[in-house]
Structure 1
Amino acid sequence: MRQFRMAVAIDQQPHGFKPFSRSQRCKLQSYGHLDYNNFLDLNQTTFLAFQAENIHRSFSTPCLPVNGVEDLHPPHPRVEIVRGSGAPVHALVVEVAVAMASGIQPILLPSGLGGAYVFPNTNGNNIAVAKPVDEEPFAYNSPKEFKSNNHQMLVQPDLKRSIRIGETGIRELAAYLLDHGGFSGVPPTALVKFCHATFSESSSTVKLASLQRFVGHSFDAGELGPSLFSVDSVHKIGILDIRLMNLDRHAGNMLVMKQDNNSFVDSVATTDLVPIDHGFCLPEWLEDPYFEWLHWPQASVPFSESELDYISKLDPSKDADILRSEVPSLRESSIRVLIVCTVFLRQAAAAGLCLADIAQMMTRKFCGGEESQSELENICLKVKASINNENEEDKDDGVTKTNYGIGGISFGDMNKGEWELFVEIFDKFVIGVFEDKKCKN
């Protein structure tokens, strides 16, 4: 029987991404030393890969060939977890590793602006989607966009000014880590290194990529009317989008789960949605988010008791610590946006506002061809002004100008003391704002 020469490394680096080269004495866990009990519901192909005769049992199979060894042992496809943990993530990576060891190549998806690849298993069923960092939209190895001859990373302005090219993969992971208990249904996601896997025409033998469990679906939300979707499902996605300030929640990245039964029970919609593609969340400053669900009727339905309980238990400080620990390359300014949006959501829900009300307050207004700041941005400006000793006009109204001339309120310019004071004042200030809004309604 064919031997699988592939290691799956499940030990994560504690302090960011380190160089890919490894000492010959570095020990990675191979298939033979994984805890089988941590892997749930693996298909038969994956189970067979764990059998002793199929396993390359070396303790020290490196991700890259060690000098002097490459000539004796030709390179084999490998996948290694860089960031991400838990049984669902480990099981996903093992299934992808087995597929690669079986000679299966990733398939480029035709949709999207960057390189996104689907991995099928040996039975032909799709199991994962990989998005290499160097193939993001407008990145130098993107298979779908114009690339300059000098291979500069920023060959043209990126899609969202507050999210840098090459940093959407870490946001995919962040969304999964922040979806506590799978409340919103974000599929298992990890940041991984692929070695000797065939992606685009790039000559690179190592690819850093986000890897997400493929979700079997019948449609995306754009192919059906919103009346089919359950209130619960729309609310759970909306709560996540508010927390993360998602700039790109369109109908195409809400998948309609396959249903074996009727989608209506007693005239009530029961079809559930699964959120994917979170690369454009957690911007570095307050932006104009896009919520496809904003004007759906479900967004105007009050939160249920279970949803209010979930929101009330959200702890922005703990969430920030999770991101600093698990996604250390995510910038502090983005983490502070998460904290502001989570505090805003908690206080708004406690005051009785519905999902649509909260989203409207976060969205910028357009009138006569002019864009005006959102209510959330205006609140943040007032709070920033209250902790500044100088006149707000001398600080350009607290607006950070980017190289592209786009304005946005940033929290990255505050020192620790100023930031802690801002959060304290903001938390109290929004309570009054929401009370006034309730009185007017």
Structure 2
Amino acid sequence: MLFHNSLEFAQKLDAEDPLGPYRDEFYFPKVNGKEVIYFTGNSLGLQPKRTQRYIDEIMTDWKELAVEGHFHADKPWWDYHERLAEPLAKVIGAKPEEVCVLNTLTVNLHFLMASFYTPSPDRFKILCEEKAFPSDQYMLQSQVRWHGLDPEKVIVTVKKRKGEHFWRTEDVIAKVEEIGDELALILIGGVNYYNGQFFDMQAITQAGRSVGSNVGWDLAHAVGNVELELHSWDVDFAAWCSYKYMNSGPGNASGIFVHERHLGKDGIPRLEGWWGTKKETRFLMKPQFEPMPNADAWQVSNPPVLALAPYLASLEMFNEVGMTALVEKRNRLTTYLEFILKEIDKEVDSTFEIITPLDRGCQLSVLLHGEGRPLFDFLMENGVIVDWREPNVIRLAPAPFYCSFTDMYQFGQLLKQGILTRISNG
């Protein structure tokens, strides 16, 4: 499609957008009395309006039923989490039995590492991307030390090539083959938080499994953003948060995927608790742990239903729309944003460098040569909510559920205004 940098063209795209009505399903903050242009769904998604109803339902049940809500609420609390498995499985390309919602992201990665990182004298190394998200780095280092090993000798990072802003799949696979039989685990962020790159998860997973390594993925920036096929890609495990593209609320519950070949096994190392034991005999208070035959075996405590309610509300929308339609709009929206950036770049004779490769979700990370923090401050003061990374990168994530093509156009105009203001002020 031939794009145009005009309000009329952007409005025409919005009028043709089948997902356009979903914008009204969300609450937008306001700056100077106007709804913001929201580009930070990669940090915290907006609140769906239907969320309140799901929370109120639980609060009413708690008020009227108290403890009996566990079994006699309309959505009984004791198995509330099971309602999330099927719609989540559709989002990540899994079987419902491979999915569970519990804890928070880094907690779940620790739990999964207990099962899938079991180093031996011969096979002990971990492969991750350089400058992984700090929480992942801390988690990996602490797990290695927990086993009495030295992170400097165990953790291997795949680096970008000199002068490039992204990783090459062939370099990741070459590093896997180089480590070979010493490789115990690959754990990489499926979509990189900084540059927005979507790794070739299928190829990397196949490479890892071919040398006998377990392969896991941190999908914090991937779930709800890119199409995933975790089951058919033969991924061993994955975990993600729910408050970014999944719109479940700040710091909310995490999800896990465990491939079916690992399910229903007594012997697998696992940190276990009451809610992971068989549902049928759980209240017999038996002294011996009997794992659930699905990913619920990794669940240690009863589900935090007040946290799960917003997640269920959001998943209802994902189930209505489907990832294929979301990805189709995401691609068009992000491509239009890229066009707008390049048009403004020409108009103000500046230099914007998009450091996000074409293998991406809806995030564009933009290196603003010659610009600094004042431009970010200008955008924020004028109702454009973006993310700033030092020294001069802004991350833009036009989430397809609630961002519009008109947002992209208006952002471009404000960006131009901010740069021209900086130039006029010397």
Q: Tell me the TM-score normalised to structure 2 length.
A: 0.27
Bigger fraction of residues in helix: 2
- Higher RCO (CA < 8 A, seq sep 6+): 2
Q: Tell me the TM-score normalised to structure 1 length.
A: 0.27
